[in-house]
Amino acid sequence: MLTIYHNPRCRKSREALQELESKNIPHTVVKYLEQPLGVAELKELLQKLEKQPQDIIRKQEPLWKENFKGETFSETALLQLLSEHPKLIERPIIASKNDAVIGRPLENLLAFLKKI
């Protein structure tokens, strides 16, 4: 079963969810803005993505640009920041038991689905 970390207001996230539904792929939806991920959950997700915290930050997000751009953060501090401000997390993220992908663009998700 897949998990999609979903923001219903995001067009790309809605497209990814629609793709899973159209292919009848079993999945769980986590509305991560309503249910923010803890630091441990973020670490696990980053391991599956094979990425660092800075790799999943939405750097064009006004919250980032106005409050955090240009600052230096440790990995621990970035994880805490993403946990406290889930709006900064790139979306959507689709995860299986052992792997994950940022589903933007949709082609990333399509390639991921072929692998699982």
What is the model's pTM?
0.95
Q: What is the pLDDT of residues 33-60, one digit of tens each?
A: 999 999 999 999 999 999 999 999 999 9
Cα-based distances in Å from 50 to 4, 42, 95, 100: 17, 12, 12, 8
Among 1, 5, 10, 92, the active-site one is: 10
CA 30 to chain centre: 10
Consecutive H or E run containing 34: none
DSSP state of 3: E
CA 65 to chain centre: 19
For the question of residue 112 being annotated catalytic, the response is no
| Domains of the chain listed by start with CATH number | 2-115 (3.40.30.10)
Helix 39-49 and helix 75-84, axial crossing angle in degrees, nearest 10: 110
pLDDT-based confidence at residue 116 (cuts at 50, 70, 90): confident
